[in-house]
Amino acid sequence: MTRVIMHGCNGHMGRVITDLVSKDDDIEIVAGIDPFDDGHNTYPVFASIKDCDVKADAVIDFASAKAEDALLDYCVEKQIPVVVCTTGLSKEQLDKVRESACKVAVLKSANMSLGINTLFKLLQDAAKVFIPSGYDVEIVERHHNQKLDAPSGTALALADAIKEVAGDEYYYKYDRSQEHKKRDPKEIGISAVRGGTIVGVHDVIFAGEDEVIEFTHTAYSKSVFAKGAIEAAKFLAGKPAGMYDMTDVIASK
């Protein structure tokens, strides 16, 4: 049984994870951290991570970026592995995440979905075949109309996975509207669509002569990210200090 602290337990993702964990016999939330608590949780909730005195095997972090520094300090001090899912971290905070990984186990990925992280490897295998054969690569991502950043971090991570195989001469192309010229064979096109309540769709296209191969990942709800975070916490419990990501979780399956 993996005992976890849910950092940001009353946020949307915290509630989703709490519900999923309640149906999983291999993991238990023993404490939650959230400044706003209405008393509905079955586990004790602390307003700040500094106040938590409950022993745990790992922390799942889906909270505000402003709480990240205190969380990392706590995990290093208590030697509790942490799954960092909070987004919007500053460069300084990302540096602190890496520094903390020298002292305690830290897992961070651009996307927590098991499907997306499996897709990374599939794309690299495909790129080894299609890139040398001159196929063009295009990535189209679609998200809801409230998403602030574009392209998505996941789209960039997918592009990075392909670029590892393609080589440094390949580069990302985000906009062609100001140019009137043929496509550069060395560009990886990345396009963003924003509309409605789309949770997340990522299409990766390998377009060759008389042939198109497409990989598509569709998230129908945010529970796919919650499930990934839960599996990550199970994996990370008991691990030595170091920087881990979801590819390590998948490799352990």
Active site amino acids: 143, 147
- CB-hemisphere CA count at 13 Å for 36? 8
Which residues on adjacent β-strands are paired with residue 60? 6, 83
Residue 133 is assigned to a ligand binding site: no
3-state per-residue secondary structure call for 239-253: CCCEEECHHHHHHCC
Q: Please state, in angstroms and rounded to a whole number, the distance separating the CA atoms of residues 110 and 112.
A: 7
**3-class secondary-structure state, position 213:** strand
Residue 217 is assigned to a ligand binding site: no
Residue 8 is assigned to a ligand binding site: yes
Residue 118 is assigned to a ligand binding site: no
**Residue 186 token pair:** 């060395």
Do residues 132 and 108 make contact, with C-beta atoms less than 8 angstroms apart?
no
Residue 9 is assigned to a ligand binding site: yes
Residue 39 is assigned to a ligand binding site: no
Residue 11 is assigned to a ligand binding site: yes
Annotated binding site for NAD(+): 8-13, 34, 85-87, 109-112
Binding residues for (S)-2,3,4,5-tetrahydrodipicolinate: 144, 153-154
Residues annotated within a binding site: 8-13, 34, 85-87, 109-112, 144, 153-154
